[in-house]
């Protein structure tokens, strides 16, 4: 530490000497602090490690949150934002109204602009003792309690199925009321249907249905994978039309058309009583994004905050140990004219330098983490420039706050007591 004593005018003979206060220039403060940090490089690196982890986590959290939100947006636009459901609420409006959907519901909705596929489906309510069983060879097997769904061909196409075996039933099967069935992958495994080469059949109650396809996966309405799916017209012929509510239409639209289709669907289906049908449009993507982003930020920022606290404690502990080790040096400087605030500034600059170093390294590591995850997942990395700019400042603030108490302790060391040690 270089203490500067400015030269004053020569005092006259017999005059009382004037003592000018010592000064500690900023250049001297940074030079001494840098020397203190470089004097023990290994310990300084370990001290800054906590800040590196905290700031790196901070940058990675915010970057991954924004990147993940953009991926959620794209998937939302591809699937959820193109899905509209229309529910039959006629019975709740008028118990004598009858079915809310007309017989040609699929064709009516198909004439709306932006509609790709649409169809009506409902759950089949079987007798309490009825179940589903595979048709065994030379015997009878136990019935399984499996959901049976009656769906039009349009509803199947709107669900976006991917077949593992066989095919979907079509308008011919529906128009001629063929007794055919589709099995979800889980249902097929449960019933022991592993191949279609032998033209297997399943019994729904006492009614046989030929299995023509096994659904491996769907884009919408995942409960089809756990069900037996039969044509809607066939189900109404065998078990009758559904009573009350429970019938639903699934509509797959082009991107951007879902809201308009939802507004027009009730009138297109029932121009005489549009109140008998309730259209459910997809949720607002902005609301979904903000909700998901908020949840992710709150969760991961807590982890980043914990890392920053750990880093601050490490800096504070190391700086305090440095104060105790350098008590003699501090006492000597105080004896040479250094004031308490000079010592305070020196140690604050040292802790701030460690925090800034950790912030810079943490920012680089956090940015690299976001890019690496995005490359592995085939995403587009998104990092806000304000995050990258604020992260090193966060490290600086953490270091300065961590050094407040050690600097205060160092400033209170008395020169005489320090020199006796």
Query: What are the backbone dihedrals phi and psi of residue 280, each rounded to the nearest 5 degrees, phi first?
Result: -115, 105
* pTM value surpassing 0.95: no
Per-residue pLDDT of the chain (421 residues; tens, 9 = 90+): 454 545 555 555 555 555 555 565 666 666 666 666 667 777 677 667 777 877 887 788 778 777 776 666 555 555 567 889 999 888 777 777 778 898 899 999 999 999 999 999 999 888 765 678 876 543 445 667 888 999 999 999 999 999 999 999 999 999 999 999 999 988 998 888 888 988 899 998 888 999 999 999 998 888 889 899 999 999 999 988 887 667 999 999 988 788 899 999 999 999 998 998 999 887 665 555 555 556 666 766 676 677 667 767 766 777 677 677 777 777 777 776 777 777 788 778 878 887 888 888 888 988 898 889 888 888 888 887 887 888 888 888 887 887 788 778 777 777 766 666 6
Cα–chain center distance at 158: 27
Q: Give the orientation angle of helix 327-335 with respect to helix 340-377, to 10 degrees.
A: 140
DSSP result, 47-107: HHHHHHHHHHHHHHHHHHHHHHHHHHHHHHHHTGGGEEEEEE-HHHH-TTS--SS-TTHHH
Cα angle: 105, vertex 177, 110; to 5 degrees: 20
Q: Looking up tokens 């000597």, which residue turns up?
A: 332
Q: Residue 247: CB partners within 8 Å, gap ≥ 6?
A: 87, 88, 99, 100, 101, 120, 121, 122
Question: 313: closest CA among 47, 41, 38, 42?
Answer: 47
Q: Which two tokens stand for residue 304?
A: 């980043």
DSSP result, 215-232: EEEESS-GGGGGEEEEEH
């Amino acid at each position: 530490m270089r203490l500067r004593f400015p030269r004053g005018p020569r005092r006259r003979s017999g005059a009382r000497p004037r003592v000018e206060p010592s000064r500690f220039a900023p250049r001297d403060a940074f030079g001494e602090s840098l020397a203190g940090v470089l004097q023990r490089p290994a310990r300084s690196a370990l001290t800054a490690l906590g800040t590196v982890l905290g700031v790196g986590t901070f940058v990675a959290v915010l970057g991954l949150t924004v990147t993940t939100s953009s991926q959620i947006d794209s998937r939302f636009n591809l699937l959820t934002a193109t899905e509209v459901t229309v529910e039959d609420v006629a019975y709740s409006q008028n118990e004598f109204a009858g079915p809310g959907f007309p017989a040609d519901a699929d064709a009516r909705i198909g004439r709306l602009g932006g509609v790709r596929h649409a169809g009506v489906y409902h759950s089949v309510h079987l007798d309490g003792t009825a179940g589903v069983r595979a048709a065994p060879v030379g015997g009878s097997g136990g019935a399984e309690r499996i959901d049976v769904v009656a769906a039009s061909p349009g509803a199947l196409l709107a669900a976006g199925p991917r077949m593992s075996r066989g095919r979907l039933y079509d308008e011919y099967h529906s128009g001629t009321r063929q007794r055919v069935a589709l099995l979800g992958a889980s249902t097929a495994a449960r019933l022991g249907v592993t191949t279609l080469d032998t033209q297997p059949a399943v019994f729904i109650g006492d009614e046989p249905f030929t299995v023509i396809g096994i659904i491996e996966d769907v884009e919408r309405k995942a409960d089809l994978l756990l069900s037996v799916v039969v044509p809607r017209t066939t189900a109404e012929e065998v078990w009758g039309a559904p009573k009350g509510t429970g019938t639903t239409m699934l509509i797959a639209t082009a991107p951007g058309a879902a809201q308009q289709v939802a507004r027009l669907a009730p009138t297109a289906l029932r121009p005489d009583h549009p109140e008998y049908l309730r259209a459910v449009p997809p949720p607002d993507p902005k609301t979904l994004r903000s909700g998901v982003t908020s949840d992710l930020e709150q969760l991961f920022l807590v982890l980043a905050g914990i890392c920053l606290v750990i880093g601050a404690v490490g800096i504070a502990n190391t700086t305090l140990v440095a104060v105790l080790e350098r008590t003699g040096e501090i006492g000597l400087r105080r004896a040479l004219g250094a004031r308490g605030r000079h010592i305070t500034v020196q140690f604050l600059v040292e802790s701030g330098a460690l925090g800034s170093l950790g912030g810079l390294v943490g920012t680089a590591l956090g940015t690299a983490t976001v890019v690496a995850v995005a490359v592995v997942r085939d995403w587009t990395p998104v990092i806000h420039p304000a995050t990258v700019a604020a992260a090193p400042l966060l490290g600086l603030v953490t270091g300065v706050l961590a050094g407040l108490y050690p600097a205060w302790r160092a400033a209170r060391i008395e020169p005489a007591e320090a020199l006796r040690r």
